[in-house]
Amino acid sequence: EEVRELALAEACDNPIDFVVECSPKLSAVTDRNMLFRVIFNLSNNSVKALKKKTGFLQIRILAYQDNQGICLYFSDTGAGFGTDAARRMRSFNDAQSFKGEGGLGLKIAHDFVHTLEGAIEVIRSDESGTHFLITLPHQDVAFESLDAF
């Protein structure tokens, strides 16, 4: 809820649909502050991308558990960062790769996910939006609900 409020405040007059879908039995034990920063940084970047568009504007977080661990599928309907930038960003090697295309916040999100022994992957980023998959291991991943964020 806190991330949603902060992101929507940044959106100003842009009506953004912020959807969080989370299994009621999903729980994880992790560093709440790091996970908050990951979700906040991705949401903040999404709001910036959505400001460049008109029409249906949405940020969606889907949280579920599979055999890999706890998964957070994060997507938006923003402008995306294009094929070349998405390809460079898949490596997440250095902050320079992110300059002007997600900013340092994306690099920080990546580093925090890795500190939590998880993985973050750019699934797609184009003119119809950006999609990330964050996977956190079972043993390291407790939030009773993503609504707390």
Cα(88)–Cα(62) distance, integer angstroms: 25
**How far apart, in Å, do the first and last CA atoms of the chain sit?**
5
Q: Determine the pLDDT at residue 115.
A: 94
Q: Determine the pLDDT at residue 32.
A: 85
Q: Determine the pLDDT at residue 52.
A: 80
The token pair at 5 is 């409020």
Strands 17-22 and 58-66, bridge-based pairing: parallel
Q: Determine the pLDDT at residue 37.
A: 92
149 residues of the chain, pLDDT tens digit each: 667 666 666 665 678 888 989 887 777 778 889 999 999 999 988 888 888 888 889 999 999 988 878 999 999 998 887 666 556 566 655 445 555 555 678 888 999 999 999 999 989 888 889 999 999 987 543 444 444 44
Report field, pTM of the whole predicted structure over 0.85: no
Q: Determine the pLDDT at residue 29.
A: 77
- From the list 149, 148, 141, 142, the residue with the least C-alpha distance to 116 is 141
Question: In sequence order, what E strands does 23-68 have?
Answer: 58-66
